[in-house]
Copies of this chain bind each other. A is one copy, B any other.
Amino acid sequence: MGRRSSGNVPELVERARSGDARAVARLISLVEDASPLLREVMAGLVPHTGNAQVVGVTGSPGVGKSTSTSALVGELRRAGKRVGVLAVDPSSPFSGGALLGDRVRMQDHALDPEVYIRSMASRGHLGGLSWSTPQALRVLDAAGCDVVLVETVGVGQSEVDVAGLADTTLVLLAPGMGDGIQAAKAGILEIGDVYVINKADRDGADQVRRELRSMLALADRPEGSWRPPIVKTVASRGEGLDEVVAEIDRHHAWLTDSGELEARRTRRARDEIEAIAVTALRERWGDVHGRSELDGLAAAVVAAERDPYAAADELLATFTD
């Protein structure tokens, strides 16, 4: 059984690379389920990665993220690109379920063999996106996607996490939502590489642009750094998406030339390696010497018998023994 499953991974990787959507889906499921095969999957995928442009799409509920993502897919397909979409739901740590469903209005592209679409429930790892997200990105990258769009529900920390994952982050706003203030609050003024004002046919779009522009002007950007453009769209009618794609490409060229692309990707890999190492350690800590070392230490801290630093030292010592 183990032998058979194990034997399947290289074959799955090959099928995914040749454009087999079911193999891609199966690999992402292995990632999502944290399959015991995950190590082998990652080892098989990594040699084929590094080509996909990762584009984050974020913004408050109601700005039209799903519609914009769908329109963007259409625009990228017209340019002949193979496209992946990960719709990530940073659901509460209390419910593992995905709330997306209706958000992913992707029916237009469901039958296009050059488009992979996947919803993922984030498991709330470290308070935000699960690190199954970078692993799923790796699947789509190895499967030959030129661009992977990562769309997330815009709630607080998840926006920041998406920016950490993406090469280019699109921040969507819309008129009439008090977005100016919301933007400042959620820190999205610092994460956007391209700002998109959707529903730009509505009253107040110019007002949002003015506010956003003056807020962005306050940022202290060193010489030679990227100045985020603001693009107006009406995603429901497909208007302005060509300009969004042009700005994504312009940003990608800047990233490459400035060395920032490599810096961002290295940072991302650092975080991922650390997360894997820390998880491995936590598993060991939870079950050392046949009982939970950590539980014993925690009980000693609660009983006021040991301070947490001394306890942490002991925890680390159990493991270098």
Contacts and interface: CB of A to CB of B under 8 A. Distances in A.
Interface of A: 38-39, 42-43, 45-50, 92-95, 126-128, 155-157, 160-161, 185-187, 190, 262, 265-267, 269-270, 272-274, 276-278, 280-282, 285, 294-295, 297-299, 301-312, 315-316, 319-320
A50 B316 CA distance: 25
Contacts of A161: 127
B294 A285 contact: no
Contacts of A95: 187
Nearest to A50: B304
**Copies in the assembly, this chain:** 2
A282 B41 CA distance: 26
A184 B38 CA distance: 34
Interface on chain A toward B: helix, strand, loop, or mixed SS?
helix
Contacts of A320: 319-320
A273 B185 CA distance: 31
Contact of A312 (B276, B304, B306): B276
A40 B64 CA distance: 53
Nearest to A292: B270
Contact of A280 (B42, B285, B298, B312): B312
Contact of A298 (B43, B267, B312, B319): B267
A273 B304 contact: no
Nearest to A131: B308
A174 B194 CA distance: 37
Nearest to A42: B307
10 contacts: A38-B309, A42-B307, A50-B304, A126-B126, A156-B156, A269-B302, A270-B295, A273-B315, A276-B312, A280-B312
Nearest to A272: B308
